Amino acid sequence: MVPPKIAPLPDQAKRPVWSVMIPTYNCSRFLKETIESVLDQDFGKDLMQIEVIDDCSTDEDVEAIVNQIGAGRISFYRQPENVGSLRNFETCINRAQGHYIHILHGDDCVKPGFYKKIGELLERFPEAGAAFCRYEVIDDKSKYFGEDSLLMNKDGIVDDFLLHQSQKQWVQYASVVVKRKVYEELGSFYAVTYGEDWEMWARIGKNHPVAYSPLLLSQYRMHFSSISSNSYRTGKNIKDVMQVLGLINQYLPADDRKKLLKSAVRNYAHWACRFTGYLWYRTNSSKLVTRQLIGIMKVHRDRYVLTTAGAILWQVTKSLLRYYKVLPQKQPKKSSVL
């Protein structure tokens, strides 16, 4: 299996600098916020292409939403049939006319100053194939939930970006802009539907310098109707990540691969345990959480994993015992009125 090729554009006298490509599939309730976050930073049609690419959503009339909010400013393309996320992203890239491509999912957002800062990075560091910033995590009500950790404390080219990316997912779609010529050189997303971007950013880092800003200028939305969430329910996310880590490992120096792969799997298992605790908090689904924990322990077990998994399973067990009335129901805490 190899990455799908991206065809170069024919010679054109005039092209926009930016292509903001917004892939959507059944995330219409978030789309207005996504589009408005881009329009607030619009450089105009000559400089910025903005297009929504819909993979045959069934929740709402996406084209009507785009026309209402965009008022003619935003282009719309609907797939002739549902092609899946990977092919929809590929369509985004192929339809992009700009030199810089930002794939902004229809449930994510950019914060004020994102395009200005990323543009400055790509101009200041012309050798970079891509540039990214930090991102916030927001929930389905657009409330702040957390943020990415700090990679560097100032703007610049990331030293050993591939090494960093092989050990942890530092980049989200919403936070990164890639030069179109880099996609033309390296191809599109492939292999898996969870973690496919983790591999892509590593592939770019193997072949090109990557620029970075520590500013929090993008927002990744965590909710339970997304493509990622569907993978959690089946446990496919863990299998996909193991495949991704194997692919990335092949980009590393041969002598270091075994050690770095072991480290990457451990890092992922620790993160996945913590995230499973969040899944339990948000879904209260014993089936989902148990499937995740079993999958994690199949790929890595150490004291941290076993302790964390045990604590989560105890919470699940207590909940089930309360449900079947083996344990008394939790009593709400008494509140005092001052």
pLDDT tens figures, 129-180: 999 999 999 998 999 989 999 999 999 999 999 999 999 999 999 999 999 9
pLDDT tens figures, 12-71: 879 999 999 999 999 999 999 999 999 999 999 999 999 999 999 999 999 999 999 999
State the DSSP string of 76-109: EEE-SS---HHHHHHHHHHH--SSEEEE--TT-E
The amino acid at residue 150 is L
3 state DSSP class of 16: coil
**Percent of the chain topping pLDDT 70:** 94
- 338: pLDDT strictly greater than 70: no
Question: In this predicted structure, what is the pLDDT of residue 335?
Answer: 38
Q: Give 63's Cβ-side CA count (13 Å radius).
A: 6
**Percent of the chain topping pLDDT 90:** 85
The dihedral sign for the CA sequence 136, 179, 55, 45: positive
Question: In this predicted structure, what is the pLDDT of residue 226?
Answer: 59
d(C-alpha 338, C-alpha 212), whole Å: 50
- 337: pLDDT strictly greater than 50: no
Mean pLDDT for the stretch of residues 300-314: 96
Mean pLDDT for the stretch of residues 76-90: 98
Closest CA to 121 of 131, 112, 136: 131
pLDDT level of residue 225 (50, 70, 90 thresholds): low
Residues forming beta bridges with residue 18, ordered by sequence position: 48, 100
Q: Measured between alpha carbons, how far is residue 40 from residues 69, 116, 120, 143, 147 in Å?
A: 12, 12, 18, 20, 22
The dihedral sign for the CA sequence 332, 334, 335, 337: positive
The dihedral sign for the CA sequence 201, 202, 207, 208: positive
State the DSSP string of 213-241: EEEEEEEEEP-TTSHHHHHHHHTHHHHHH
The mean pLDDT of the chain is 93
